[in-house]
Amino acid sequence: MGSIQASKTNQRSVFESAPYIPPDLIFEVTKNYLADSDPKKVNVGAGTYRDENGQPWVLPSVRMAKSLIADCGHEYLPIAGLKSFRTGVTELVFHDTTALRNDCIASCQSLSGTGALHLAALALKKANASNGEVYITDPTWSNHELLFESLNFVVHKMPYYKNSAFDFDGYMESLKAAIPGSAIVLHTCAHNPTGCDPSQAQWKEIASVVQERQLFPIFDSAYLGFNSGSVDADAWALKYFIEECNIEAAVALSFAKSMGLYGERTGMVAFVTRSPEMAVNLNSILENVQRATVSSPVAYGSHIVSTVLNNPDIKDQWAKDLVTMSSRIQAMRQKLYDELVRLQTPGDWSPIIRQSGMFGYTGISPAQIKHMQDKYHIYMADTSRISIAGLNDKNVEYFAMAIDSTVRNIQ
């Protein structure tokens, strides 16, 4: 018996060479915030909307929709997702486009925006439409690089942010040298993490080079409607590409932010193609790669979104909800800036009010970020990105005071 136990003890594990992978930094920020018992703690790390009391906000339009779908059942959805959801979302984003009129759009429900990007990348490979190279901005959403690298794409980073603004010259120089046949991830609006978007004139120049270099754009569209309060205004760039320039593209959509459906993981990927026949083929490819991953998407969230988009009264309420959220974030930007000016905080803080969307890029150092957490119980990403939605009338002055004290005393 003893020799058998010794033998078992001496056996090597197949996992001996398995590396330890550090936790995702954003989720770790939230974990640390939740573990903190200090009453003044502030979380400006997570990209989730909070109301004026710092609480999660269930949109009135979502409440209305939920009351109508209380018995939506528990059956599997089709592989491509709920038909009324896909139709409603496609009409929402692509209405009045030639692609929609001519049935040139393929779509598939996804696990929010991350799932939409994942399906887009898989479909490009399955369709033999990718050379395995993809361009992303530097900086960008932290999951872009991980997602594409995990699918064996070669990831190239393009300069995007310089002197507290969009580095248009650096970006264009990199774009003009991009490898033909590559994919390129474009933030449709509310660039994450900088909040700096190209102007319409700059988007037109970007589109021209994308066309010239034969690049395939993937529009990461996680914030449509949430950014400005208008879906159409926020979707301007992607519509310009597909309608004015006749560029084929993929669009990764999410309703986490715009409907507050974070836990429901409800999104969609759409491919704009040259013909109805190509759309049919892409639909078959999307179903194939969906089947190989999650098999069938989540039902409840798609029923909520479908009800919001297909019920005129609820859709009108949603339009008001979008304005409520986007306006509160804009107001918090202004209040934070005004308070920093009042305190005469060293540095130029005007980028805060020039940026847009949920996030702001403060430019403070990792040492200063750590100091703010240790002394003031303020939790944020180590990139210096803050979620403006985490601020409200009760904590914005405290947050500004913490920044002011920190930049004066910590280098």
Catalytic machinery residues: 141, 220, 257
Closest CA to 95 of 238, 307, 227: 238
Burial 253-291 (b: 16+ CB within 10 A, else e): bbbbbbbbbbebbbbbbbbbbeeeebbeebbebbbebbe
Cβ within 8 Å of residue 349, ≥6 positions away: 336, 337, 340, 341
**Rounded-to-integer distance, Cα 69 and Cα 167, Å:** 46
- The contacts found for 147-150 with CB under 8 angstroms, 24 or more apart, are 147/114, 147/117, 147/118, 147/121, 148/121
Angle at 200 between CA 268 and CA 244, to 5 degrees: 65
**Rounded-to-integer distance, Cα 143 and Cα 122, Å:** 16
Phi/psi of residue 360, nearest 5 degrees: -130, 150
Phi/psi of residue 208, nearest 5 degrees: -60, -45
**Rounded-to-integer distance, Cα 165 and Cα 170, Å:** 12
> CB–CB of 291/248 below 8 Å?
no
User: Measured on CA atoms in the order 239, 155, 254, 29, is the torsion positive or negative?
Assistant: negative
> CB–CB of 254/269 below 8 Å?
no
> CB–CB of 371/406 below 8 Å?
yes
**Rounded-to-integer distance, Cα 153 and Cα 233, Å:** 32
Report the 10 Å Cβ neighbour count for 153. 21
**Rounded-to-integer distance, Cα 135 and Cα 153, Å:** 10
